[in-house]
Amino acid sequence: MMESVQTGGSAENGRIIRASSRGEVIAGKLMLLIVSLLICIGIVVVYSSGASWAENKYSNSEYFLWRQLFFSFIGILTIVFFARLDYHIFCKVSKIFLGVSVFLLALLLILKVIGVISGAARWIGYGPLKFQVSDFAKYALIFHFSRLISEKQAYIKDLHNTYLPLVVILMTVVALIALEPNFSTASLIAIIGFIMMFIGGVNIRYLLATAALVIPVGAVYAMVAPYRVARLVSFFSGDEKNMSYQVLQALIGLGNGGLFGLGIGASKQRDLYLPLSYNDFVFVIIGEEYGFIGALAVLFLFSAFLVCGLIIAKHAPDNFGKFVACGITIAIVLFAFINIAVATHLLPTTGVALPFISYGGTALVFNSLGVGILISISRYRKRNVELETVSEKQQGGLS
Protein backbone atom coordinates (compact mmCIF):
# COMPACT_ATOMS: atom_id res chain seq x y z
CA MET A 1 0.00 0.00 0.00
CA MET A 2 1.22 3.49 -0.87
CA GLU A 3 2.43 5.70 1.94
CA SER A 4 0.17 8.59 2.79
CA VAL A 5 1.08 11.71 4.70
CA GLN A 6 -1.23 14.39 6.05
CA THR A 7 -0.29 17.43 3.98
CA GLY A 8 -3.24 19.75 3.98
CA GLY A 9 -5.58 16.77 4.37
CA SER A 10 -5.98 13.40 6.03
CA ALA A 11 -4.40 10.11 5.02
CA GLU A 12 -7.89 8.88 4.22
CA ASN A 13 -8.41 11.78 1.80
CA GLY A 14 -5.11 10.87 0.14
CA ARG A 15 -6.34 7.30 -0.41
CA ILE A 16 -9.62 8.60 -1.86
CA ILE A 17 -7.72 10.75 -4.35
CA ARG A 18 -5.62 7.77 -5.42
CA ALA A 19 -8.63 5.48 -5.76
CA SER A 20 -10.55 7.95 -7.93
CA SER A 21 -7.51 8.65 -10.11
CA ARG A 22 -6.91 4.91 -10.65
CA GLY A 23 -10.55 4.54 -11.65
CA GLU A 24 -10.17 7.37 -14.12
CA VAL A 25 -7.01 5.90 -15.63
CA ILE A 26 -8.75 2.54 -15.99
CA ALA A 27 -11.64 4.34 -17.72
CA GLY A 28 -9.15 5.91 -20.14
CA LYS A 29 -7.54 2.56 -20.94
CA LEU A 30 -10.92 0.88 -21.30
CA MET A 31 -12.03 3.66 -23.64
CA LEU A 32 -8.99 3.04 -25.82
CA LEU A 33 -9.91 -0.65 -25.97
CA ILE A 34 -13.54 0.16 -26.85
CA VAL A 35 -12.54 2.55 -29.64
CA SER A 36 -10.03 0.04 -31.01
CA LEU A 37 -12.78 -2.60 -31.17
CA LEU A 38 -15.17 -0.15 -32.88
CA ILE A 39 -12.50 0.76 -35.46
CA CYS A 40 -11.81 -2.93 -36.15
CA ILE A 41 -15.54 -3.57 -36.55
CA GLY A 42 -15.68 -0.63 -38.94
CA ILE A 43 -12.89 -2.01 -41.13
CA VAL A 44 -14.55 -5.43 -41.43
CA VAL A 45 -18.08 -4.12 -41.98
CA VAL A 46 -17.07 -1.38 -44.45
CA TYR A 47 -15.24 -3.97 -46.56
CA SER A 48 -18.16 -6.38 -46.36
CA SER A 49 -20.81 -3.79 -47.20
CA GLY A 50 -18.84 -1.76 -49.74
CA ALA A 51 -16.97 -4.35 -51.81
CA SER A 52 -19.61 -4.65 -54.54
CA TRP A 53 -20.21 -0.88 -54.67
CA ALA A 54 -16.46 -0.30 -54.96
CA GLU A 55 -16.18 -2.90 -57.72
CA ASN A 56 -18.93 -1.24 -59.73
CA LYS A 57 -17.77 2.33 -59.18
CA TYR A 58 -13.97 2.05 -58.98
CA SER A 59 -13.34 -1.40 -60.53
CA ASN A 60 -11.64 -2.38 -57.29
CA SER A 61 -13.54 -4.29 -54.62
CA GLU A 62 -10.93 -3.33 -52.02
CA TYR A 63 -11.13 0.43 -52.63
CA PHE A 64 -13.15 1.19 -49.49
CA LEU A 65 -11.14 -1.32 -47.44
CA TRP A 66 -7.76 0.28 -48.09
CA ARG A 67 -9.10 3.79 -47.52
CA GLN A 68 -10.75 2.71 -44.27
CA LEU A 69 -7.53 1.01 -43.16
CA PHE A 70 -5.55 4.15 -43.95
CA PHE A 71 -7.86 6.47 -42.03
CA SER A 72 -8.08 3.97 -39.15
CA PHE A 73 -4.27 4.02 -38.94
CA ILE A 74 -4.31 7.84 -38.97
CA GLY A 75 -7.02 7.72 -36.30
CA ILE A 76 -4.94 5.51 -34.01
CA LEU A 77 -1.92 7.80 -34.46
CA THR A 78 -4.15 10.79 -33.68
CA ILE A 79 -5.34 9.16 -30.45
CA VAL A 80 -1.79 8.34 -29.35
CA PHE A 81 -0.49 11.83 -30.19
CA PHE A 82 -3.22 13.79 -28.42
CA ALA A 83 -3.31 11.39 -25.46
CA ARG A 84 0.26 12.47 -24.71
CA LEU A 85 -0.47 16.18 -25.26
CA ASP A 86 -1.56 18.49 -22.46
CA TYR A 87 -5.23 19.10 -23.20
CA HIS A 88 -5.02 22.66 -21.78
CA ILE A 89 -3.56 23.77 -25.10
CA PHE A 90 -7.09 23.65 -26.52
CA CYS A 91 -8.18 26.17 -23.93
CA LYS A 92 -5.53 28.60 -25.16
CA VAL A 93 -6.39 28.21 -28.86
CA SER A 94 -10.16 27.71 -28.57
CA LYS A 95 -10.95 31.22 -29.79
CA ILE A 96 -8.72 30.74 -32.85
CA PHE A 97 -10.31 27.35 -33.62
CA LEU A 98 -13.80 28.82 -33.36
CA GLY A 99 -12.92 31.82 -35.53
CA VAL A 100 -11.40 29.58 -38.22
CA SER A 101 -14.42 27.27 -38.19
CA VAL A 102 -16.87 30.18 -38.58
CA PHE A 103 -14.74 31.62 -41.38
CA LEU A 104 -14.67 28.28 -43.23
CA LEU A 105 -18.42 27.76 -42.81
CA ALA A 106 -19.09 31.25 -44.15
CA LEU A 107 -16.62 30.67 -47.01
CA LEU A 108 -18.49 27.53 -48.04
CA LEU A 109 -21.74 29.49 -48.29
CA ILE A 110 -20.05 32.25 -50.31
CA LEU A 111 -18.60 29.66 -52.71
CA LYS A 112 -22.06 28.15 -53.05
CA VAL A 113 -23.69 31.52 -53.75
CA ILE A 114 -21.20 32.43 -56.51
CA GLY A 115 -21.56 28.99 -58.08
CA VAL A 116 -18.16 27.48 -57.29
CA ILE A 117 -19.89 24.77 -55.22
CA SER A 118 -23.09 23.16 -56.45
CA GLY A 119 -25.45 21.29 -54.15
CA ALA A 120 -24.69 20.97 -50.44
CA ALA A 121 -21.66 23.06 -49.37
CA ARG A 122 -20.15 20.82 -46.70
CA TRP A 123 -16.62 19.97 -47.82
CA ILE A 124 -13.57 22.14 -48.29
CA GLY A 125 -10.15 21.30 -49.63
CA TYR A 126 -8.86 19.52 -52.71
CA GLY A 127 -8.67 15.85 -53.65
CA PRO A 128 -7.76 13.58 -50.71
CA LEU A 129 -7.21 16.60 -48.44
CA LYS A 130 -10.92 17.43 -48.31
CA PHE A 131 -12.62 17.54 -44.94
CA GLN A 132 -16.12 18.26 -43.66
CA VAL A 133 -16.07 21.66 -41.96
CA SER A 134 -18.96 20.83 -39.60
CA ASP A 135 -16.79 18.16 -37.93
CA PHE A 136 -14.12 20.78 -37.23
CA ALA A 137 -16.73 23.33 -36.09
CA LYS A 138 -18.28 20.82 -33.67
CA TYR A 139 -15.02 20.33 -31.80
CA ALA A 140 -14.09 24.02 -31.99
CA LEU A 141 -17.43 24.82 -30.34
CA ILE A 142 -16.88 22.22 -27.61
CA PHE A 143 -13.44 23.65 -26.79
CA HIS A 144 -14.59 27.27 -26.69
CA PHE A 145 -17.79 26.51 -24.79
CA SER A 146 -15.74 24.58 -22.21
CA ARG A 147 -13.39 27.55 -21.84
CA LEU A 148 -16.17 30.15 -21.48
CA ILE A 149 -18.32 28.06 -19.13
CA SER A 150 -15.36 27.27 -16.88
CA GLU A 151 -14.21 30.93 -16.82
CA LYS A 152 -17.71 32.26 -16.08
CA GLN A 153 -18.61 29.89 -13.23
CA ALA A 154 -18.70 32.79 -10.74
CA TYR A 155 -21.57 34.40 -12.68
CA ILE A 156 -22.77 31.46 -14.78
CA LYS A 157 -26.47 32.31 -14.30
CA ASP A 158 -26.07 35.88 -15.51
CA LEU A 159 -28.05 36.64 -18.67
CA HIS A 160 -25.95 39.35 -20.32
CA ASN A 161 -22.43 38.32 -19.33
CA THR A 162 -22.80 34.56 -19.74
CA TYR A 163 -25.89 33.22 -21.46
CA LEU A 164 -26.27 35.65 -24.36
CA PRO A 165 -22.61 35.35 -25.51
CA LEU A 166 -22.88 31.55 -25.37
CA VAL A 167 -26.17 31.33 -27.25
CA VAL A 168 -25.05 33.83 -29.92
CA ILE A 169 -21.93 31.74 -30.61
CA LEU A 170 -23.97 28.53 -30.71
CA MET A 171 -26.69 29.89 -32.99
CA THR A 172 -24.10 31.40 -35.37
CA VAL A 173 -22.42 28.02 -35.88
CA VAL A 174 -25.74 26.17 -36.07
CA ALA A 175 -27.21 28.61 -38.61
CA LEU A 176 -24.16 28.42 -40.88
CA ILE A 177 -24.26 24.60 -40.87
CA ALA A 178 -28.03 24.52 -41.42
CA LEU A 179 -27.65 26.74 -44.48
CA GLU A 180 -25.18 24.34 -46.16
CA PRO A 181 -27.79 22.68 -45.94
CA ASN A 182 -27.02 20.13 -43.22
CA PHE A 183 -30.03 20.32 -40.93
CA SER A 184 -29.38 17.08 -39.05
CA THR A 185 -25.81 17.98 -38.03
CA ALA A 186 -26.88 21.53 -37.16
CA SER A 187 -29.63 20.17 -34.90
CA LEU A 188 -27.26 17.76 -33.13
CA ILE A 189 -24.66 20.48 -32.55
CA ALA A 190 -27.39 22.68 -31.09
CA ILE A 191 -28.34 19.84 -28.72
CA ILE A 192 -24.70 19.39 -27.69
CA GLY A 193 -24.39 23.12 -26.96
CA PHE A 194 -27.57 23.20 -24.86
CA ILE A 195 -26.51 20.12 -22.89
CA MET A 196 -23.11 21.66 -22.17
CA MET A 197 -24.73 24.87 -20.95
CA PHE A 198 -27.11 22.87 -18.76
CA ILE A 199 -24.22 20.87 -17.25
CA GLY A 200 -22.28 24.11 -16.77
CA GLY A 201 -25.05 25.55 -14.59
CA VAL A 202 -26.67 28.06 -16.95
CA ASN A 203 -30.10 29.23 -15.81
CA ILE A 204 -32.57 26.58 -16.96
CA ARG A 205 -35.24 29.20 -17.66
CA TYR A 206 -33.04 30.82 -20.30
CA LEU A 207 -32.46 27.45 -21.95
CA LEU A 208 -36.18 26.63 -22.02
CA ALA A 209 -37.09 30.07 -23.35
CA THR A 210 -34.53 29.77 -26.15
CA ALA A 211 -35.66 26.25 -27.00
CA ALA A 212 -39.25 27.51 -27.21
CA LEU A 213 -38.10 29.99 -29.87
CA VAL A 214 -35.59 27.83 -31.74
CA ILE A 215 -37.66 24.63 -32.10
CA PRO A 216 -40.52 26.27 -34.09
CA VAL A 217 -38.01 28.09 -36.30
CA GLY A 218 -36.17 24.83 -36.90
CA ALA A 219 -39.45 23.06 -37.69
CA VAL A 220 -40.38 25.70 -40.27
CA TYR A 221 -36.91 25.50 -41.83
CA ALA A 222 -37.21 21.71 -42.01
CA MET A 223 -40.53 22.02 -43.84
CA VAL A 224 -39.05 24.32 -46.49
CA ALA A 225 -37.19 21.46 -48.19
CA PRO A 226 -39.53 18.96 -49.91
CA TYR A 227 -37.20 16.01 -49.29
CA ARG A 228 -37.27 16.64 -45.52
CA VAL A 229 -41.08 16.81 -45.60
CA ALA A 230 -41.15 13.52 -47.51
CA ARG A 231 -38.96 11.89 -44.85
CA LEU A 232 -41.24 13.09 -42.06
CA VAL A 233 -44.38 11.92 -43.89
CA SER A 234 -42.75 8.54 -44.51
CA PHE A 235 -41.75 8.20 -40.86
CA PHE A 236 -45.14 9.09 -39.38
CA SER A 237 -47.31 7.31 -41.93
CA GLY A 238 -47.00 3.86 -40.35
CA ASP A 239 -47.86 2.32 -43.75
CA GLU A 240 -45.28 0.11 -45.43
CA LYS A 241 -46.31 1.45 -48.84
CA ASN A 242 -45.49 5.01 -47.76
CA MET A 243 -42.14 4.16 -46.18
CA SER A 244 -39.04 5.49 -47.89
CA TYR A 245 -37.11 2.94 -49.94
CA GLN A 246 -34.07 3.13 -47.64
CA VAL A 247 -36.07 2.61 -44.44
CA LEU A 248 -37.96 -0.35 -45.89
CA GLN A 249 -34.79 -2.06 -47.08
CA ALA A 250 -33.08 -1.33 -43.75
CA LEU A 251 -35.87 -3.02 -41.81
CA ILE A 252 -35.76 -6.01 -44.17
CA GLY A 253 -32.02 -6.28 -43.60
CA LEU A 254 -32.36 -6.18 -39.82
CA GLY A 255 -35.10 -8.80 -40.05
CA ASN A 256 -32.89 -11.05 -42.19
CA GLY A 257 -30.25 -11.12 -39.46
CA GLY A 258 -32.37 -12.84 -36.82
CA LEU A 259 -30.58 -13.67 -33.58
CA PHE A 260 -27.12 -14.66 -34.81
CA GLY A 261 -26.98 -13.17 -38.32
CA LEU A 262 -26.29 -14.53 -41.78
CA GLY A 263 -22.52 -14.52 -41.33
CA ILE A 264 -19.61 -12.32 -42.43
CA GLY A 265 -20.07 -11.11 -46.00
CA ALA A 266 -23.47 -12.79 -46.37
CA SER A 267 -25.66 -9.64 -46.41
CA LYS A 268 -28.44 -9.75 -49.00
CA GLN A 269 -29.29 -6.05 -48.83
CA ARG A 270 -25.88 -4.46 -49.39
CA ASP A 271 -25.47 -5.03 -53.13
CA LEU A 272 -28.73 -4.14 -54.83
CA TYR A 273 -31.19 -2.87 -52.27
CA LEU A 274 -29.66 -0.63 -49.61
CA PRO A 275 -27.88 2.58 -50.75
CA LEU A 276 -24.97 3.82 -48.60
CA SER A 277 -24.84 0.50 -46.77
CA TYR A 278 -21.20 1.25 -45.92
CA ASN A 279 -21.96 4.67 -44.44
CA ASP A 280 -25.28 5.96 -43.07
CA PHE A 281 -26.86 2.48 -42.89
CA VAL A 282 -23.82 0.47 -41.85
CA PHE A 283 -25.61 -0.60 -38.64
CA VAL A 284 -28.13 -2.49 -40.81
CA ILE A 285 -25.29 -4.60 -42.25
CA ILE A 286 -24.07 -5.31 -38.71
CA GLY A 287 -27.56 -6.45 -37.75
CA GLU A 288 -27.97 -8.55 -40.89
CA GLU A 289 -24.57 -10.26 -40.83
CA TYR A 290 -24.09 -10.55 -37.06
CA GLY A 291 -27.72 -10.62 -35.97
CA PHE A 292 -29.34 -9.19 -32.87
CA ILE A 293 -26.32 -10.31 -30.80
CA GLY A 294 -23.91 -8.32 -33.00
CA ALA A 295 -26.12 -5.24 -32.99
CA LEU A 296 -26.46 -5.48 -29.22
CA ALA A 297 -22.68 -5.74 -28.87
CA VAL A 298 -22.23 -2.46 -30.76
CA LEU A 299 -24.84 -0.79 -28.56
CA PHE A 300 -23.01 -2.10 -25.50
CA LEU A 301 -19.68 -0.69 -26.73
CA PHE A 302 -21.14 2.79 -27.20
CA SER A 303 -22.87 2.58 -23.82
CA ALA A 304 -19.55 1.60 -22.23
CA PHE A 305 -17.92 4.52 -24.06
CA LEU A 306 -20.50 6.85 -22.48
CA VAL A 307 -19.79 5.50 -18.98
CA CYS A 308 -16.02 5.82 -19.43
CA GLY A 309 -16.34 9.36 -20.73
CA LEU A 310 -18.52 10.43 -17.81
CA ILE A 311 -16.08 8.87 -15.33
CA ILE A 312 -13.22 10.83 -16.91
CA ALA A 313 -15.33 14.01 -16.80
CA LYS A 314 -16.28 13.46 -13.15
CA HIS A 315 -12.65 13.11 -12.03
CA ALA A 316 -11.15 15.72 -14.37
CA PRO A 317 -8.59 17.92 -12.57
CA ASP A 318 -10.32 21.19 -13.55
CA ASN A 319 -13.57 22.59 -14.94
CA PHE A 320 -12.20 22.98 -18.45
CA GLY A 321 -11.29 19.30 -18.55
CA LYS A 322 -14.66 18.35 -17.12
CA PHE A 323 -16.65 20.27 -19.72
CA VAL A 324 -14.44 19.16 -22.61
CA ALA A 325 -14.83 15.53 -21.54
CA CYS A 326 -18.61 15.93 -21.25
CA GLY A 327 -18.86 17.67 -24.62
CA ILE A 328 -16.77 15.11 -26.52
CA THR A 329 -18.49 12.15 -24.89
CA ILE A 330 -21.96 13.54 -25.58
CA ALA A 331 -21.06 14.39 -29.20
CA ILE A 332 -19.76 10.93 -30.08
CA VAL A 333 -22.48 8.97 -28.28
CA LEU A 334 -25.29 11.23 -29.52
CA PHE A 335 -24.24 10.79 -33.16
CA ALA A 336 -23.96 7.03 -32.61
CA PHE A 337 -27.41 6.59 -31.11
CA ILE A 338 -29.03 8.89 -33.70
CA ASN A 339 -27.51 6.78 -36.49
CA ILE A 340 -28.73 3.57 -34.84
CA ALA A 341 -32.19 5.07 -34.21
CA VAL A 342 -32.49 6.01 -37.91
CA ALA A 343 -31.37 2.54 -39.04
CA THR A 344 -34.00 0.91 -36.79
CA HIS A 345 -36.75 3.37 -37.85
CA LEU A 346 -37.00 5.01 -34.44
CA LEU A 347 -36.24 8.42 -36.00
CA PRO A 348 -36.78 9.92 -39.47
CA THR A 349 -34.05 9.26 -42.05
CA THR A 350 -31.10 11.62 -41.80
CA GLY A 351 -27.49 11.59 -42.92
CA VAL A 352 -25.55 10.92 -39.71
CA ALA A 353 -22.61 8.51 -39.77
CA LEU A 354 -21.90 5.90 -37.08
CA PRO A 355 -18.70 7.04 -35.27
CA PHE A 356 -15.59 4.88 -35.86
CA ILE A 357 -17.57 2.37 -37.96
CA SER A 358 -19.08 4.17 -40.97
CA TYR A 359 -16.87 4.68 -44.02
CA GLY A 360 -15.15 8.06 -44.12
CA GLY A 361 -11.99 9.77 -43.04
CA THR A 362 -12.91 13.20 -41.66
CA ALA A 363 -15.28 12.05 -38.94
CA LEU A 364 -13.03 9.18 -37.90
CA VAL A 365 -9.97 11.42 -37.51
CA PHE A 366 -11.85 14.15 -35.62
CA ASN A 367 -13.51 11.62 -33.30
CA SER A 368 -10.09 10.05 -32.74
CA LEU A 369 -8.84 13.49 -31.75
CA GLY A 370 -11.69 13.64 -29.23
CA VAL A 371 -10.75 10.24 -27.78
CA GLY A 372 -7.11 11.27 -27.52
CA ILE A 373 -8.13 14.36 -25.53
CA LEU A 374 -10.30 12.25 -23.20
CA ILE A 375 -7.35 9.97 -22.51
CA SER A 376 -5.12 13.03 -22.03
CA ILE A 377 -7.50 14.30 -19.33
CA SER A 378 -7.30 10.97 -17.50
CA ARG A 379 -3.50 10.83 -17.88
CA TYR A 380 -3.13 14.39 -16.60
CA ARG A 381 -4.86 13.38 -13.39
CA LYS A 382 -2.56 10.39 -13.10
CA ARG A 383 0.55 12.54 -13.56
CA ASN A 384 -0.64 14.93 -10.82
CA VAL A 385 -1.18 12.07 -8.39
CA GLU A 386 2.23 10.55 -9.18
CA LEU A 387 3.92 13.91 -8.51
CA GLU A 388 1.92 14.26 -5.31
CA THR A 389 3.02 10.78 -4.19
CA VAL A 390 6.68 11.56 -4.83
CA SER A 391 6.33 14.82 -2.89
CA GLU A 392 4.68 13.06 0.05
CA LYS A 393 7.42 10.43 0.16
CA GLN A 394 10.10 13.13 0.16
CA GLN A 395 8.34 14.97 2.99
CA GLY A 396 7.99 11.70 4.88
CA GLY A 397 11.71 11.05 4.51
CA LEU A 398 12.51 14.48 5.93
CA SER A 399 10.18 14.18 8.91
Q: What is the pTM of this model?
A: 0.89
pLDDT at 366 over 80: yes
Q: What pLDDT does residue 127 have? A: 67
Q: What mean pLDDT, rounded, does the chain reach?
A: 86
**Interatomic CA distance for residues 181 and 358, integer angstroms:** 21
Nearest residue to 317 via CA among 389, 383, 371, 368:
383
pLDDT tens for each residue of 260-290: 999 888 888 877 677 778 888 899 999 999 9
User: CA-to-CA distance for 128 and 120, rounded, in angstroms?
Assistant: 18
pLDDT tens profile 300-325:
999 999 999 999 999 999 999 999 99
Using the predicted structure, report yes or no on whether residue 186 has a pLDDT greater than 80.
yes
The pLDDT value recorded for residue 18 is 40
Which residues 6+ apart lie within 8 Å of 292 measured at CB? 257, 258, 259, 260
- For position 161, what pLDDT does the model report? 93
Q: Which is nearest to 324 in space by CA: 80, 148, 60, 75? A: 148
| Angstrom distances, CA of residue 236 to CA of 226, 250, 251, 347 | 15, 17, 15, 10
197 and 149 Cβ atoms separated by less than 8 Å: yes
pLDDT digits (tens, 9 = 90+) for 113-151: 988 887 777 888 776 678 899 999 999 999 999 999 999
Asked if 182 contacts 133 with a C-beta cutoff of 8 angstroms, the reply is no
CA gap 311, 153 in Å, rounded: 21
